[in-house]
Amino acid sequence: MRLPRPLAPGRLSPLRLSRQYSSGHTVKENDVLFLRQQGTNFPRWHLTAPLRPESRVRLAYGASVNASDLIGRNLLDVVPDSSGRDVVLHEPSMATYIINSARQATPIYPHDANTIVSLLDLNLPRPGEEDEDANAPPFEIFEAGTGMGSLTLHLARALHAANPPTTPALRNSLCTAHYQLHDFGLDLTPEDQAAFDSYRASRRAVLHTLDRNPKHSRAAHKLIRQFRRSLYFPTIDFHIGSIDEYLTERLTQSDGAPFLSHAILDLPSAHENAVPVIQALKPNGLLILFKPSISQIGDFQAWMKRTNQPVRFERVIELAVSTTADGVRDTGGGREWDVKTVIPRGAEADAQPVQVMRPKVGDRVVGGGFVAILRRYHAKASPEAEPVEEETTSQVTPEAKSEP
Ligand SMILES: C[S@@+](CC[C@H](N)C(=O)[O-])C[C@H]1O[C@@H](n2cnc3c(N)ncnc32)[C@H](O)[C@@H]1O
């Protein structure tokens, strides 16, 4: 097969050249950008609101840039701000978006949220990939509290592909609609509401997120709706109020049959709210607890044994803390290193560049905490009826360990 001959760059028009070297992602209305503004000593980063043509983005040094100058550009394009500084257009990652958004509640840090999602081991087929009963109930996960919505967003990303596609028009309506004045919800046109209701009824995976604090729920709703123009928003149902009320009503509707595939609790005194969660959890489903302190995990275990709950501890994991150097960009939980080639300060004019490779000094500790993973058993076969195990005090030698 003959391949087309590449054109010499000198023979391309500037427009075609810029297309060839562009990131290929054109910034659209309602996108959120992460702008890198040239600074005096170091760059300044700014997470924008969803871009609307008439709005202005305020930056550091009293400068600003018109949103209309950003819409239609490509990622990595450079535009001048009102003070003449260069501003580079970046797209925020999910983690960067969360870290740099306003918060009403302490979130599960993005790399810890990723760990929790991976512990759930979600492997859902896309619609149509498996023979299944069209009337089969969806795969449901329950999460409380919603808080900032960090874990919610990570969970929704993992469920997203299991659901049928929405339409660009519906996504556009979802991310631009105003909130209802006196209620929790979007003020959609009757046609958009009907399209949204019909889409919700077609979902194969649903994340239910509940918080008793309406302010937290509303802020999380907005955060998730604005991320990537409502990409993951339709997978989530937001609930405000009591865990007991919501789940008891659902259990009544299902005649007591459990319907949740997994549940996650990130709230103080989880055991005070866990009974309906465990009742609603299907056998073999996982219950994950996120706790800042190990003693809270111990408290839950003591309660679970005392009340003979049909769940069993599988693992307890300490999440590693990490540090960030600039506080605005995520390190994925890893330790950030400085790797650069520099001419040493004060060196002779003809000095050779040297490579610097050292861990960056973090100025903020992030993440950490404890995760307990429990599995739901059939009530009768609960291994919690087992006597409390006695800890053996004898040391296992390394040799003994390696024996078959
Ligand atoms: C630490 S935040 C959760 C953070 C969230 N997981 C995230 O990643 O952003 C705890 C939340 O639990 C909520 N909460 C506390 N007790 C609750 C309860 N009994 N029922 C429902 N929500 C509760 C609080 O209002 C708060 O928003």
What is the 288 CA–ligand 1 centroid distance (Å)? 14
Q: How remote is the CA of residue 248 from the centroid of ligand 1, in Å?
A: 19
Q: What element of type H or E holds 197? A: helix 190-201
Looking at the predicted structure, is the pLDDT value of residue 300 above 60? yes
> Is 106 near ligand 1, meaning CB less than 6 Å away?
yes
Protein residue with least CA distance to atom 7, ligand 1: 107
- Which protein residue's CA is at the shortest distance from atom 26 of ligand 1? 147
Higher pLDDT, 18 or 252: 252
49 and 124 share a domain? Answer: no
Q: In which band, very low, low, confident or very high, does the pLDDT at 181 lie, cut at 50, 70 and 90?
A: confident
Is 206's C-beta closer than 6 angstroms to any atom of ligand 1?
no
Q: Measured in angstroms, how far is the CA atom of residue 143 from the centroid of ligand 1?
A: 9
Please report whether residue 137 resides in a domain. yes
337 domain-assigned: no
Highest-confidence range of 3-7, 8-12, 162-166, 363-367, by mean pLDDT? 162-166
Beta strands in 292-380 (DSSP E): 311-319, 322-324, 337-342, 354-359, 364-366, 369-376
Q: Which of 92, 107, 141 is the last residue of a domain?
A: 92
Atom in ligand 1 nearest the alpha carbon of residue 149: 9
Structure tokens at 197: 């209701």
- Statement to judge: residues 270 and 159 lie in one domain: yes
Residue numbers of the domain that contains 229 = 95-164+202-325+365-376
- Say whether both 33 and 134 belong to one domain: no
Mean pLDDT of the chain: 89
Q: 117-126, 163-172, 303-312, 356-365: which range is least confident on average?
A: 356-365
144 lines ligand 1 (CB under 6 A): yes
CA 107 to chain centre: 10
DSSP count for the chain of H helices, then E strands: 11, 17
Residue 273 alpha carbon, nearest atom of ligand 1: 19
pLDDT at position 392 is 54
Q: Tell whether ligand 1 has an atom less than 6 A from the beta carbon of residue 211.
A: yes
Q: Do 305 and 231 belong together in one domain?
A: yes
Report the C-alpha gap between 47 and 59 in whole angstroms: 10
List pLDDT tens digits, range 7-28. Answer: 444 444 544 545 555 667 899 9
My answer on whether 273 and 289 are in the same domain is yes
pLDDT band at 404 (very low <50, low <70, confident <90, very high): very low
Which has the closest alpha carbon to 281: 306, 315, 304? Answer: 304
The rounded Å distance from CA 65 to ligand 1 centre is 37
Q: Which of 98, 192, 189, 201 is closest to 151 using CA atoms? A: 98
Q: How far is the CA of 173 from the centre of ligand 1 (A)?
A: 29
Ligand 1 atom closest to Cα of 241? Answer: 21
In a domain, 77, yes or no: yes
Rounded-to-integer distance, Cα 241 and Cα 245, Å = 8
Q: What is the mean pLDDT of residues 352-380?
A: 86
Q: What are residue 299's phi and psi, to 5 degrees?
A: -60, -40
- In testing the pocket of ligand 1, which one of 98, 143, 153, 212 has its CB within 8 Å of the most ligand atoms? 212
Q: Exposure of 109 by Cβ count < 10 A (0-12 exposed, 13-18 middle, 19+ buried)? A: buried
286: closest CA among 384, 156, 379, 373? Answer: 373
**Residues 149 and 214 occupy one common structural domain:** yes
Ligand 1 close to Cβ of residue 150 (< 6 A): yes
- Ligand 1 mean position, distance from CA 209 (Å): 10
How far is 143 from 207, CA to CA, in rounded Å?
Answer: 7
Task: Decide if pLDDT at 316 tops 60.
Answer: yes
User: Of the candidates 33, 61, 92, which is a domain's last residue?
Assistant: 92
Domain final residue, candidates 92, 108, 129:
92
Is the pLDDT reported for residue 46 higher than 70? yes
Residues 209 and 242 in one domain: yes
Residue 183 φ/ψ, nearest 5 degrees? -140, 170
Residue 149: CB within 6 Å of ligand 1?
yes
Do the Cβ atoms of 243 and 273 come closer than 8 Å?
yes
pLDDT tens per residue across span 280-294: 999 999 999 999 999
pLDDT at 245: 98
CATH number at residue 31: 3.10.330.20
Q: Looking at the structure, tell me whether residues 210 and 300 fall in a common domain.
A: yes
The ligand 1 atom at the shortest distance from the C-alpha of residue 211 is 22
pLDDT of amino acid 296 = 95
Sign of CA dihedral 25, 28, 32, 37: positive
pLDDT of residue 335: 81
Q: Report d(CA 93, CA 115) in Å as an integer.
A: 17
pLDDT band with cut points at 50, 70 and 90 for residue 183: confident
- Name residue, tokens 């803390």: 321
297 and 257 co-located in one domain: yes
Higher pLDDT, 271 or 276: 276
pLDDT of res. 328 = 84
* Cα 277 to averaged position of ligand 1 atoms, centre (Å): 15
Report the percentage of the chain scoring pLDDT > 90: 72
For residues 126 and 162, is the Cβ–Cβ distance under 8 A?
A: yes
Residue 126 in domain: yes
Q: Domain for residue 79, yes or no? A: yes
Residue 389 falls inside a structural domain: no
Mean pLDDT, residues 80-89: 98
Mean pLDDT of all residues in 257-263? 98
Please state the rounded mean pLDDT for residues 183-209: 96
CA distance 209 to 143: 5
Q: What are the DSSP calls for 60-114, one per residue? A: GGG-EEEGGGTTT-BTT-EEE-TTS-EEEEEPPPHHHHHHTS--SSPPPPHHHHH
Same domain, 288 and 221: yes
Residue 226 inside a domain? The answer is yes
Task: State residue 4's pLDDT score.
Answer: 41
Residues of the chain with pLDDT > 70: what percent? Answer: 88
CATH, residue 287: 3.40.50.150
**pLDDT at residue 5 above 70?**
no
Residue 143 CA, closest ligand 1 atom number? 6
Q: Ligand 1 atom closest to Cα of 103? A: 9
Check residue 358 and give its pLDDT.
Answer: 87
Buried b / exposed e over 236-254, threshold 16 CB at 10 Å, is bebbbeebeebbeebbeee
Give a three-class secondary structure readout of 223-259: HHHHCCCCCCHHHEEEEECCHHHHHHHHHHHCCCCCC
CA of 232 to the centre of ligand 1 (A): 20
- Cα–Cα distance for residue pair 101/344, rounded to 1 Å: 37
Q: At what angle do helices 150-159 and 110-120 cross, to 10 degrees?
A: 40
Helix, coil or strand: residue 193: helix
Same domain, 124 and 270: yes
Mean pLDDT, residues 32-53 taken together = 96
Residue 390 Cα to ligand 1 middle (Å): 35
pLDDT on residue 334: 82
103 and 228 together in one domain? yes
Is there a domain that residue 56 lies in? Answer: yes
Atom of ligand 1 nearest to the CA of 217: 27
Ligand 1, atom 13: nearest CA belongs to which residue? 145
**CB-based contact 269:127 (threshold 8 Å):** no
Specify the pLDDT at position 323. 75
Task: Count structural domains, the chain.
Answer: 2
- What pLDDT, on a 0 to 100 scale, did the predictor assign at position 22? 62
Q: Quick one: tokens of 360?
A: 């960056």
